[in-house]
Amino acid sequence: MRIRPLCISDVKLIEPVRLRDDRGWFCETYRKDLTAKAGIQHDFVQDNESCSVKAGTVRGLHFQIPPFAQAKIVRVLKGAILDVAVDLRRTSPTFLKHVAVRLDATTGEQLYIPVGFAHGFCTLEDATVISYKVSAIYNRECDRQVRWNDPALAIAWPAAGGSAILSAKDGAAPTVAECDCLFD
């Protein structure tokens, strides 16, 4: 597997090496020793999976605050997404900047998102299934979000305005200016 930093160097693209033969392919999707060499040093404690029925479904931008702040490794099992990580670390030189990467089941690429980032995605195909590892268990009291289409973030989502399919919670999320729970 190859691991490389993206335009925000703390966010990394994990590219599996698929060994192909007449039956199909095999690959390692996670190796603690290789990820640790690349600076990803977490004990991932929970795996999550979501299915979005329709293309244009937006989930996010979600994060958890300490003591349950989460790093994530996201991959697509079926379909495709635009995956987005927003830097919410106030002292970071990339504060409020984001990384947006297309992930799909065909390539198997994964996105590592460190603690201090909000995460969200927009499905690009119907029946998209996402799997992700997290470094802290889900905790409702520490669960936070930022509005997915906050103009201050300038994210070019494929599903714009009224065409996005959202949960009520995501549709009512605060803007960055209204959020009092950013990372120091």
List the catalytic residues: 62, 132
The gap between the terminal CA atoms of the chain, to the nearest Å, is 32
> Any alpha helices (H) in the chain, and if so which ranges?
32-37, 168-171
User: Exposure pattern of 54-82 as b/e (b: 16+ CB <10 Å)?
Assistant: ebbbbbbbbbbbeebbbbbbbbbeebbbb
Cα distance between residue 173 and residue 159, in whole Å: 17
